[in-house]
Structure 1
């Protein structure tokens, strides 16, 4: 990864966060909790993947239609997020593999 890639990545991240900050306060709070959860146990490809951008797209559509964030997601936000990443390999999977002694699968 070169310096240009890092600079471009920072520009994209700042643009992404500007979109988040344009959302209503309740959406921002839920987004930050989702982000925190995904960074902790989410998909391995989270930094390169479109999950966070798709969540912001979904939230922007909800705002445009006049819905509250919990009307979109339901009251169990964790279940919503778990459903989003159910088919993705997560950091939790890697950790589980490392403690269970499965060799050769944690780095893939």
Structure 2
């Protein structure tokens, strides 16, 4: 990664954070919880850019502009909202489950080879 890419990435992130801070307080709280959830469970691609997070901010800005409460936008189950956003994306949890499955397959193969 070049220095220019790093600088541009930081500029984009700062602009993104400024957009979040401009949201109403209830939207900011829910956004931060969504962000935590996605960074913990979310898609591998999330670390490669802010497209998903920017899309959420776009949605929140539209909701706030139309006078809706944040839960009217996301629904009352915010975790389900997040899961719907990433349902077709490979997550770190998926990678972990695959590695466990591969480990179990290797162990089972060794056991059958010994017999």
Settle same-fold status: TM greater than 0.5: yes
Deviation at 1:47, TM superposition (A): 2.5
After superposition, the CA RMSD in angstroms is 1.3
Deviation at 1:77, TM superposition (A): 0.4
> For residue 109 of structure 2, what is the aligned residue in structure 1?
none
Deviation at 1:99, TM superposition (A): 1.5
Q: TM-score, normalised by structure 1?
A: 0.91
Runs of 4 or more, structure 1, over 3 Å off, are: none
Does 2:18 align with 1:18? yes
Which consecutive unaligned segments of at least 5 residues does structure 2 have? 106-115
Deviation at 1:98, TM superposition (A): 1.3
CA radius of gyration, larger in: 2
Deviation at 1:100, TM superposition (A): 1.5
The residue matched to 1:66 in structure 2 has which SS? Answer: coil
Distance across 2 between alignment mates of 1:92 and 1:6: 27
Say which structure is richer in helix: 2
Distance across 1 between alignment mates of 2:99 and 2:17: 33
> For residue 57 of structure 2, what is the aligned residue in structure 1?
56
Distance across 2 between alignment mates of 1:5 and 1:95: 30
The alignment of Structure 1 onto Structure 2 pairs a total of residues equal to: 103
Distance across 1 between alignment mates of 2:37 and 2:78: 11
The residue matched to 2:37 in structure 1 has which SS? Answer: helix
C-alpha distance after superposition, 1:5-61 (max 9, x if no partner): 111101100000000000001000000000001001101101334110000000000
Q: TM-score, normalised by structure 2?
A: 0.85
Distance across 2 between alignment mates of 1:47 and 1:15: 17
